[in-house]
Amino acid sequence: MERFPSRGYMTPRTRMIRKLYLAAAILVIILIVGIVLFHLSDKTQEQQPAAAAPERKVIEPEKKAVMVTEPPRVVQPLPPAPPAQQTPPPQPEQVEVQAPVAIEQPAVTAPVEQPVLPASTGITAMINEALALLNERPARVIEARDRLNELLPLEMTPQQRMLVKQQLSALADVWLFSPTVYPKDTLCEIYQVKSGDLLKEIGRVNNVPWEIIQELNKISRPEALQVGQTLKIVKGPFHARVFRSKFIMDLYLQDTYVKSFAVGLGKPEHETPTGTWVVKPGGKLIKPTWTDPDTGKTYQADDPDYPLGSRWIALDGISGNAVGRTGFAIHGTQKPEEIGSATSRGCIRLHNGDVLLMYNLMMPGASRVEIVD
């Protein structure tokens, strides 16, 4: 009888075939896994840029900080322009005067808010006409000055008078307090130094202190004048008018208004007398020794509490309540806060800078000081 092998028995040939099948299966599996991994890797690379975007710092740190820490700037709108009828009158700083020919001056067109006098319309027109002369080329400085000065004695509102004085004061910086001499000016002229001339004598002939000629012409040594040298000469004298009720002093060159100063005046028991005074010959002094009549204390120039400031201009009364009065003067002060009030013993107090200017302008024996209510 033929024997058949059992199911568990495999011939060598069978075992070899099975091993080949197993190796092929493993190879197929490895191939499939490789294909799957390759596809997965491909998809991962396609998705990676989007996932990595936060790490690429597209937004720079500096820009981000600015955006976070600085609020946006808000530009405020400009306020609307006021209606034309509310435009205030021009102020003195609006006067742009430049020597010698480039002088800009806006016309006065703003209405006056206060009730006006019957002559006000004509006065305003005349102010405008005078100021229009400054807009011409070349500017007609002297003619504008003279026209404005002619308006001061006329009846006008306080606003108009203030405006005229402001314009005249601004013009004085051009025609007077500068080295320029304008054509047709009867108050200033060019002088050529002759042999033997002295600055003090030139000032005396023209009724002005030599100090103002020295200052206008920037002369460092008065004794060193050169023959043929040209100088700007002012034809004086200067005068002043003090208004007690307003604590204001107006300065004039002859009859032409120059500028105004705030002053301090005498207290009620030592009231500054009205009337006309003249600058006392020999009465212009630099920090003279002074004895207080009330306390008897004598002050020297170098005393820390010296009360008279840097200059003293003595006055002699020649008319009105000033006649026979002595001891009165224009001087500086150690207490500038008292300017504009009645606190002196009757003298006229000025800020120290203002009294220096007055000292250089007022001519002894010729310059008058009128004090009115």
Q: How far is CA 314 from CA 48, 204, 353, 358, in A?
A: 100, 19, 18, 12
CA dihedral of 261, 262, 268, 269, whole degrees rounded to 10: -60
Cβ contact 175:207 at 8 Å = no
Tell me how far apart the alpha carbons of residues 345 and 341 are, in angstroms, rounded to a whole number.
12
* Residues with catalytic function: 331, 347
Pairing of strands 275-285, 265-266: unpaired
For residue 24, count other CB atoms closer than 10 A to its CB. Answer: 10
Q: How many other CB atoms sit within 10 Å of the CB of residue 194? A: 11
DSSP assignment of 195-249? TT--HHHHHHHTTS-HHHHHHHTT-S-GGG--TT-EEEEE---EEEEEETTTTEE
